[in-house]
């Protein structure tokens, strides 16, 4: 008898990384799964459901203007738990599955435990070893790990982290990161070969795609107070690299959006300040970048596929594999470090280089284990 699988998704990165698992379930004709969208990133996710041709079975509304983390967490737990009670006669899950380290993931893990339902954690074992960096993600994933029955670790490094926490070895499965599966899907579908952007600002200002692009992203809570360091660094770099186009899709968080949009950056001809990019636009930019400046976890994993180095706007990273290989570098939110590293960091990627975060077969492995 097939197990009932319940996916709980809250944010864009979660959908991007759960997508290949849903694809694999569709491919093998597996019928018994449902998807809950918690609404943690509702506005950012709207177009992504269409891009990935996925429709959530249930939608929650856990976001309210002005709420703090405590309120968000409690609302997520109650909303998920209430929904489980409401649908138990039509769909009683055997395994609850969540990806990553957001509030949605921690809430899903706690609800699974309280209801004595098995919990599967995709991207398990990532650790920065600092509860405040990233905040609150390091805390979220550690809490989730305590109650996880299936730890789908992306790399041997993450497996070692789990072993160091006395996790039962038989519960750990090194499968690679599913984001690489998603990348392979779009690369092989030839969708990246279509050069036109859907983003209006890129369509208008980026006539030719070449390798003189720099992508900037910054959204982490712990980086908000140092945002001026990054803004000043980008301003100086753009003035000294007039033949390079700097693209900054600004996160909608008011703490970030207002400060970037009211800075001098929008006055500079070779800087494009725009809204968050749709996934295909992001990948088209990424594959033509000479370097990325970002605090994003997903971009740290995606960039190596395109042999693009990353300056990580963090003091620590839970994805140390690329740093160890010398293809990414921690620079923090320090203007001088960002500028110096931009000018000097130029790693060489060998012809046979393989992305350390996966081979594109993670979803197949995960589905096989879940079917068990």
Judge if 145 and 226 occupy the same domain: no
Q: Quick one: tokens of 21?
A: 């698992």
Judge if 32 and 117 occupy the same domain: yes
pLDDT of 212: 87
Q: Count structural domains, the chain.
A: 2
- Which residue's structure tokens are 């738990």? 81
Active site residue 137: yes
Residue of 81, 149, 173, 221 marked catalytic: 221
3-state secondary structure the chain: CCCCEEEEECCHHHHHHHHHHHHHHHHCCCCCEEEEECCCCHHHHHHHHHHCCCCCCEECCCCCCCCCHHHHHHHHHHHHHHHHHHHCCCCCCCEEEEECCCHHHHHHHHHHHHCCCEEEEECCCCCCCCCCCCCCHHHHHHHHHHCCCEEEECCHHHHHHHHHCCCCHHHEEECCCHHHHHHHHHHHCCHHHCCCCCCHHHHHHCCCCCCCEEEEECCCHHHHHHHHHHHHHHHHHHHHCCCCEEEEECCCCHHHHHHHHCCHHHHCCCEEEECCCCHHHHHHHHCCEEEEEECCHHHHHHHHHHCCCEEECCCCCCCCHHHHHCCEEECCCCHHHHHHHHHHCCCCCCCCCCCCCCCCCHHHHHHHHHHC
Instruction: Indicate which CATH number applies to the domain containing 260.
Output: 3.40.50.2000
Bond before 136 cis per omega within 30 degrees: yes
pLDDT of 1: 64
Residue of 14, 137, 138, 301 marked catalytic: 137
Residue 168: inside a domain, yes or no?
yes
Active site residue 236: no
Distance CA 148, CA 250 (A): 34
pLDDT of 254: 80
Q: Containing domain of residue 60, as a range? A: 5-177+358-371
Judge if 225 and 332 occupy the same domain: yes
Judge if 228 and 331 occupy the same domain: yes
Active site residue 141: no
Judge if 48 and 172 occupy the same domain: yes
Mean pLDDT of successive 10-residue segments in the chain (372 residues)? 94 96 98 96 81 95 91 97 97 98 98 99 98 93 99 99 98 99 93 84 82 90 88 98 95 83 92 94 94 97 98 96 98 98 97 96 99 90
Bridge partners, 173 (sequence order):
152
Residue of 12, 14, 101, 281 marked catalytic: 101
Inter-residue contact 178 to 23 (CB < 8 Å):
no
pLDDT of 65: 84
Active site residue 251: yes
Residue 193: inside a domain, yes or no?
no
Judge if 92 and 217 occupy the same domain: no
Residue of 251, 301, 319, 321 marked catalytic: 251
Residue of 133, 219, 314, 319 marked catalytic: 219
Judge if 285 and 247 occupy the same domain: yes
Q: How far is CA 4 from CA 35, 223, 291, in A?
A: 11, 40, 43
Judge if 108 and 236 occupy the same domain: no
Residue 184: inside a domain, yes or no?
no
In which region does residue 241 sit, left (phi positive, over 0), alpha (psi from -120 to 50) or beta (all else)? Answer: beta
Give the Cβ contact number of residue 285 at 10 Å: 23
Judge if 82 and 107 occupy the same domain: yes
Predicted structure pTM score: 0.93
Judge if 258 and 284 occupy the same domain: yes
Residue of 12, 41, 123, 141 marked catalytic: 123
Residue 189: inside a domain, yes or no?
no
Residue 194: inside a domain, yes or no?
no
């Amino acid at each position: 008898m097939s197990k009932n699988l319940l996916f709980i998704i809250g944010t864009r990165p979660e959908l991007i990384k759960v997508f290949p698992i849903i694809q694999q379930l569709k491919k093998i004709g597996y019928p018994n799964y449902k998807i809950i969208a918690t609404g943690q990133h509702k506005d950012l996710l709207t177009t992504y459901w269409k891009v990935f041709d996925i429709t959530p079975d249930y939608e929650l509304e856990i976001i309210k203007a002005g709420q703090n983390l405590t309120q968000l967490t409690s609302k997520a737990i109650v909303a998920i738990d209430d929904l489980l009670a409401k649908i138990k006669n039509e769909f009683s899950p055997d395994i609850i599955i969540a990806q990553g380290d957001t509030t949605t993931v921690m809430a899903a893990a706690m609800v699974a435990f309280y209801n004595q339902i098995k919990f599967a954690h995709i991207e398990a074992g990532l650790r920065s070893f600092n509860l405040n960096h990233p905040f609150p993600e390091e805390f979220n994933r550690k809490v989730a790990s305590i109650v996880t029955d299936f730890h789908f670790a992306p790399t041997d490094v993450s497996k070692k982290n789990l072993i160091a926490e006395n996790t039962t070895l038989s519960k750990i499965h090194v499968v690679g990161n599913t984001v690489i599966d998603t990348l392979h899907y779009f690369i092989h579908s030839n969708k990246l070969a279509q050069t036109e952007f859907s983003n209006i600002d890129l369509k208008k200002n980026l006539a030719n795609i070449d390798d003189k692009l720099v992508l900037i992203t910054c959204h982490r809570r712990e980086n908000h107070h140092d945002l001026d360091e990054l803004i000043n660094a980008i301003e100086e770099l753009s003035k000294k690299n007039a033949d390079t186009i700097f693209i900054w899709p600004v996160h909608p968080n008011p703490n970030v959006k207002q400060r970037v949009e009211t800075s001098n950056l929008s006055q500079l001809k070779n800087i494009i300040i725009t809204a968050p990019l749709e996934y295909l636009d992001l990948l088209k930019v990424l594959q033509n970048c000479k370097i990325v400046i970002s605090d994003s976890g997903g971009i740290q994993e995606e960039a190596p596929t395109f042999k693009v180095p990353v300056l990580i706007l963090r003091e620590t990273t839970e994805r140390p594999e690329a740093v160890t290989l010398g293809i990414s570098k921690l620079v923090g939110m320090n203007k001088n470090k960002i500028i110096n590293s931009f000018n000097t960091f130029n790693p060489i990627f060998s012809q046979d280089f393989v992305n350390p975060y996966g081979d594109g077969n993670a979803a197949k492995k995960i589905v096989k284990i879940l079917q068990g």
